Amino acid sequence: MTWLNFVTLNGVAPIKDLHLVSDAGAGEGLMQYHPTRDTELIVCGRANTRLNGAYLPSPVLGNGSVTPAILVHGILRALQKRGFKIRLHCYQLGLDNLPDFSGCKLDDVVIHQCELGKEKALIETQLIPELKRQAESGERHLIAESGIGGTTFAIVWLKCWLGKEIMFSGSTKDPEKLTRKEQVIKQLLVMSETLPVEVSHFSGDLELSDPVQRATCALLDAELKELILAGGTMMFAPVIAMEREISTEALKIATTRWIFDSPDATYAASKLPEQCSVLTPNVNFNHSRFAALNKYEQGYVVEGCGLGASLVFAEEQGMSGEEIIDSLDDAVSAWLSK
């Protein structure tokens, strides 16, 4: 029996009026609950945390697709049927609320929490020793992120380190939100223009970095045999910034292939350090019987919650495209049939 440790780094970027920049989340005053609810969906197959007193367990999004969290849930459940035991490690980075894992479908859950700006200490005292224990025990891991606003800070970092105009849409295609996002990025670039392009100057400033970036930088600085990061542009930025300081022997980033529909993402990936390999899955969501999943192939959802890495891991275990799509369809069928 092999354990797969699925780690999720949860955080919200420090952007004023974030609901006007991102399509993720539940709107004004509620954005901080989005990572928590996505983690509940991964663990339980439904969201338990209430929003303004209302119980809204569904994974269905406003654009007609579904959150990638419910798809990760489907893959993890399929891996359980193949003999894996699944342990989820939830890191609430600067988030005041804790997830409600009532109705947990996984084998074990662990929750950690820290104040904003204390991410490095939490990673060093909890996650890094745990990753070393897992390696010694022959267990597997994937380190995902569930954040809101993170692509904004990824863009800022990549613009600074690569010296190139780069833009990712993130969770939205809305022209007004994209315009506001560009304004936020310009403001952040002005704030950082006099700083040396060194990680410590950015990660040490709570206005020039987000919690997931700070946690990822702490991981990259650790002496680990292997580190598998589950995410796209959110992971590209700290890896490129930390290139000369990475202590991990084998570094992998697993993400969706939809990331590379963006020329800017392809360019950023080409600038990753030599010791970093990028993995993407082959499965095609057009084979799903649900339009909500077909929308992924149309670019409505690009990345999130470690979906790409979960798909890569499933394919590595020998799961066929048909098996994977069946597991995804099973995870959403109850919600979409309603």
Higher pLDDT, 63 or 8: 8
Contact 326, 88 (CB under 8 A): no
Looking at residue 277, its pLDDT comes to 96
Query: Rounded mean pLDDT of 18-38?
Result: 73
Per-residue model confidence (pLDDT) at position 32: 83
CA angle (178, 184, 185) in 5-degree steps: 90
Condensed to tens digits (0 to 9), the pLDDT of residues 44-53 reads: 999 999 998 9
pLDDT for 338 beyond 50: no
Q: Which of 129-143, 192-206, 313-327 has the lowest mean pLDDT?
A: 192-206
- Please provide the distance, in angstroms rounded to a whole number, between the alpha carbons at the two ends of the chain: 36
Residue 27, pLDDT score: 63
**34 or 15: which carries more pLDDT confidence?**
34
Phi–psi pair at 8, nearest 5 degrees: -120, 125
The CA distances from residue 16 to 26, 183, 190, in Å, are 15, 12, 16
Asked if the model's pLDDT at residue 235 lies above 90, the reply is: yes
**More reliable by pLDDT, 174 or 308:** 308
Mean pLDDT, residues 60-85 taken together:
95
The strand ranges marked E within 161-317 are 226-230, 250-254, 276-279
For residues 221-241, average pLDDT: 95
- The number of beta carbons lying within 10 Å of the beta carbon of residue 100 is 17
Residue 171: the pLDDT is: 54
Residues paired with 226 in a beta bridge = 250
Backbone angles phi, psi at 137, to 5 degrees: -90, 0
* More confident: 62 or 135: 135
Distance between CA 109 and CA 97 in Å, rounded? 16
| Per-residue pLDDT, 26 | 62
Above 80 in pLDDT, residue 175? no
Q: Please tell me the total count of domains within the chain.
A: 1
List beta partners, residue 308.
Answer: none
Q: What is the mean pLDDT of residues 76-90?
A: 98
| Percent of residues, the chain, with pLDDT higher than 70 | 93
Q: Mean pLDDT across the stretch 125-148? A: 96
The pLDDT of residue 299 is above 90: no
pLDDT at 82: 96
CA dist., res. 265 & res. 316, Å (int) = 24
Torsion sign, CA atoms 112, 115, 117, 121: negative
What pLDDT score was predicted for residue 301? 87
Picking from 300, 315, 299, 171, the residue whose alpha carbon sits closest to that of residue 254 is 315
> How many CA atoms lie within 13 Å of 37's alpha carbon, on the beta-carbon side?
23
pLDDT of the residue at 15: 80
pLDDT score at 94? 96
Mean pLDDT of 130-148: 96
For the stretch 242-288, pLDDT in tens is: 999 999 999 999 999 999 999 999 999 999 999 899 999 999 999 99
Report pTM. Answer: 0.95
Q: Domain range spanning residue 230?
A: 3-337
* CATH code of the domain covering residue 289: 3.40.50.10210
Please state, as a whole number, how many other Cβ atoms lie within 10 Å of the Cβ of residue 298.
Answer: 12
Whose CA is closest to 8, among 107, 85, 83, 113? 113
The CB density around residue 169, as the number of other CB atoms within 10 Å, is: 16
Query: Nearest Cα to 216, choosing from 143, 271, 126, 153?
Result: 143
Q: What value does the mean pLDDT of the chain take?
A: 92
Determine contact, residues 1/138, Cβ cutoff 8 Å.
no
Are 180 and 20 in contact by the 8 Å Cβ rule? The answer is yes
Own/partner long-range contacts of 76-79 (Cβ < 8 Å, ≥24 apart):
76/4, 76/6, 76/42, 76/106, 76/310, 77/45, 77/105, 77/327, 77/330, 77/331, 78/314, 78/319, 78/323, 78/324, 78/327, 79/4, 79/313, 79/314, 79/317
pLDDT of 20 reads: 59
Percent of the chain with pLDDT over 90: 76
Model confidence band, residue 173 (pLDDT cutoffs 50, 70, 90)? low
